[in-house]
Amino acid sequence: MKIFSSAQLQKADQLTVEREPIASIDLMERAATTVFQEIHQRLQGAPIPIKIFCGIGNNGGDGLVIARKLIEHGYHVTTYIVNYSDRRSKDFLINYDRIKNVTKDWPILIKGKNDFPTLTRNDFIVDAMFGLGLNRPVSGWTKDLIEHINAAEAFTLSIDIPSGLFSDQALAEEHAAIQADFTLTFQSLKTSFLLPQSEAYVGDFQIVDIGLDRDFLQTAIVHKFFITREEVIKRYKPRNKFSHKGMYGHVAIIGGSLGKMGSIVLATKASLVGGAGLATAFVPQCGISILQTALPEAMVVAVASHDHLKADQKTMDVLSDLQPTTVCFGMGTGQEQATIDTFHHILKNTKNAMVIDADGINILAAYPIMLKDIPAKSVLTPHPKELERLIGSWVDDFDKLKKTKEFSKLHDLVVLIKGAHTVVVDGDDLYFNSTGNPGMATAGSGDVLAGIISSLIAQDYISKDAAIIAVYLHGKAGDFAADKVSMQGVMASHLVEYLGEAILDLFKPQEPKT
């Protein structure tokens, strides 16, 4: 699913008005009516006090349409005009007149601090103060009003975007924005919704299709995408019956050390459940019986050393004889010098795209000289701390994405930035994941993900697609697991256990979204 910039959405807005054609006031009516219907469906006529805060632009105009519709449907509505400027938009003014025809409780003007209404946590607040027209951080009494609304801790629904938040740039923490419980956004997600810094503001979100110009939406070039089920289905290759295990590749999972063998068990198992035909765990001596016991389906190659990976020539020859399709390195390896040398040797002797995780990333950060030896299109899967060691620190989430794109292009690598919405960075293209939950922030979760990515590359997916499909399925498995065992109860093993269900879910007819 494409993610458009606010400039593109405003362009789409104009084109829709010209091409449909539709008067902008009618486009506002259509858009805001759709939002009203979403609210009405949830409130079902509940007699709760609804307080709508309208700016003086078109976001405010939307708020007035919503207020009018709610009043017409018998809801208890109080409308406020947040009069932060006297330049009112044309469509705002039209709706300002219209609402006066349906109620004697005309909108109340807020012109400063002493006009702030008392709010309680039982209110249902609709935030229509600023939308895509926000062009500088909110300041003055308007900022105080935002903080006043947040302090009420009432259920808050934001229209299009939480007021005070920008769609395509980060918000400094000294600036204020509405902390929405729910955001109904027009036509497309906004990038800022998917970044960790905005988590306090956006809450849950839902896209409202307002029928913007289809041709523009289809042809507009974007570099940001939301990984929905459809994005995965169009990339996923179903199996044909005349197939044999040799067709599904051979994954070599390399890593582990004394006391950290579980990460290899999880990654190797995940690679088999993800569909690889063969899997070999390449581990220190201490891991042999562990792997053979925990995972009879996997072959095991042990290096000479006992506690850590210290491959000698003999075991490197075994690895090259294995001819693995995909090599995955880094889980549980530690950073002993012998392990670092082994890793460097593997990098130089591997041609196909690899998956590099955990300590593999930390070793690359410590020895950037090794970066040039990584096979093209390899996938790195850092969590934010590992990423910082690799690319240096960043100012904010947008700066983090910019630096990661540069790193991805410079070294021709696919980089996954793990988080609430894990991002797959492939050159200039960003793919934000739509599945997963906080229950997955648990030991071993990353090992499972690395195993799934490896299994998909072994099955001949290009690295970018392998990463996109893997993060989606990994998160989906986590969602199924959390539904069964609670978020707290999710363990990495559950992510392997529910992976098959996540794959099946791709091809199950979806009941219509409620």
Ligand X SMILES: NC(=O)C1=CN([C@@H]2O[C@H](COP(=O)(O)OP(=O)(O)OC[C@H]3O[C@@H](n4cnc5c(N)ncnc54)[C@H](O)[C@@H]3O)[C@@H](O)[C@H]2O)[C@@H](O)CC1
The CB-of-248 to K ion minimum distance in angstroms stands at: 49
Nearest CA to 63 out of 74, 50, 51, 52 is that of 52
Residue in the structure block whose two tokens are 């027209």: 133
Return the number of the residue (84 or 431) whose C-beta is nearest ligand X.
84
Binding range to K ion, per CB under 5 A, among 28-36, 156-164, 258-266, 369-377: 156-164
Return the number of the residue (60 or 256) whose C-beta is nearest ligand X.
60
Q: Is 85 in the site for ligand X (CB under 6 A)?
A: yes
- For ligand X, the binding residues in 167-186 under the rule CB under 6 A are 186
- Residue 422, marked binder: yes
Q: Is 162 in the site for ligand X (CB under 6 A)?
A: no
- For ligand X, the binding residues in 193-212 under the rule CB under 6 A are 210, 212
d(CA 146, CA 43): 24
Q: Is 55 in the site for ligand X (CB under 6 A)?
A: yes
Positive or negative torsion for Cα 71, 73, 74, 75: negative
Backbone φ/ψ region at 45: left (φ over 0), alpha (ψ -120 to 50), beta: left
Return the number of the residue (61 or 275) whose C-beta is nearest K ion.
61
d(CA 349, CA 244): 27
Say if CB 353 and CB 463 are below 8 A apart: yes
Q: Is 58 in the site for K ion (CB under 5 A)?
A: no
d(CA 326, CA 323): 9
Q: Between the CA atoms of 510, 12, 21 and 94, what dihedral angle is there, to the nearest 10 degrees?
A: 100
The CB-of-27 to ligand X minimum distance in angstroms stands at: 5
The CB-of-494 to K ion minimum distance in angstroms stands at: 38
The CB-of-238 to K ion minimum distance in angstroms stands at: 43
Return the number of the residue (13 or 479) whose C-beta is nearest ligand X.
13
- Residue 113, marked binder: no
In the β-sheet with 326-329, what is the strand arrangement from edge to edge? 224-227, 429-433, 423-426, 414-417, 379-381, 355-357, 326-329, 250-254, 278-283, 299-302
> Binding K ion by CB under 5 A: which of 5, 6, 95, 158?
158
Residue 504's φ and ψ, nearest 5 degrees, are: -60, -35
Q: How many CA atoms lie within 13 A of 281 on its CB side?
A: 37
d(CA 160, CA 157): 10
For the chain, the helix, strand and coil percentages under 3-state DSSP, each to the nearest 5: 45, 15, 40
Return the number of the residue (132 or 449) whose C-beta is nearest ligand X.
132
Say if CB 79 and CB 60 are below 8 A apart: no
Residue 58 binding: pick among ligand X, K ion, none (C-beta 5-8 Å cut-off by kind): ligand X
Binding range to ligand X, per CB under 6 A, among 128-136, 214-222, 240-248, 489-497: 128-136
Residue 163 binding: pick among K ion, ligand X, none (C-beta 5-8 Å cut-off by kind): K ion
Distance from the first to the final alpha carbon of the chain: 20
For residue 251, give the H/E element and its range.
strand 250-254
Q: Is 459 in the site for ligand X (CB under 6 A)?
A: no
Return the number of the residue (20 or 388) whose C-beta is nearest ligand X.
20
Residue 112 binding: pick among K ion, ligand X, none (C-beta 5-8 Å cut-off by kind): none
Rg of the chain (C-alpha set):
26
CB neighbour list of residue 433: distance below 8 Å, 6 or more residues apart: 227, 421, 422, 423, 424, 471, 472, 475
Residue in the structure block whose two tokens are 């900022």: 143
Q: Is 442 in the site for K ion (CB under 5 A)?
A: no
> Binding ligand X by CB under 6 A: which of 50, 71, 125, 132?
132
d(CA 397, CA 170): 7
- Residue 295, marked binder: no
Residue 138 binding: pick among K ion, ligand X, none (C-beta 5-8 Å cut-off by kind): ligand X
- Residue 383, marked binder: yes
The CB-of-218 to ligand X minimum distance in angstroms stands at: 16
d(CA 452, CA 463): 12
Return the number of the residue (61 or 274) whose C-beta is nearest ligand X.
61
Q: Is 435 in the site for K ion (CB under 5 A)?
A: no
Q: Is 86 in the site for ligand X (CB under 6 A)?
A: no
- Residue 122, marked binder: no
Q: Is 333 in the site for ligand X (CB under 6 A)?
A: no
- For ligand X, the binding residues in 16-35 under the rule CB under 6 A are 27-28, 31
- For K ion, the binding residues in 159-188 under the rule CB under 5 A are 159, 163
Return the number of the residue (5 or 455) whose C-beta is nearest ligand X.
5
d(CA 324, CA 317): 12
- Strand pairing report for 76-82 and 49-54: parallel
The CB-of-56 to ligand X minimum distance in angstroms stands at: 6
Q: Is 131 in the site for ligand X (CB under 6 A)?
A: yes
Residue in the structure block whose two tokens are 């005070």: 164
Return the number of the residue (159 or 251) whose C-beta is nearest ligand X.
159
- Residue 426, marked binder: no
Binding site listing for K(+): 59, 127, 163
Annotated binding site for (6S)-NADPHX: 58-62, 131-137, 160, 332, 383, 447
Q: Which residues bind ligand X (CB under 6 A)?
A: 9, 13, 27-28, 31, 55, 57-62, 84-85, 89, 130-138, 159-160, 186, 210, 212
Interface residues toward K ion, by CB under 5 A: 59, 127, 158-159, 163
Binding residues: 58-62, 127, 131-137, 160, 163, 332, 383, 418-422, 446-447
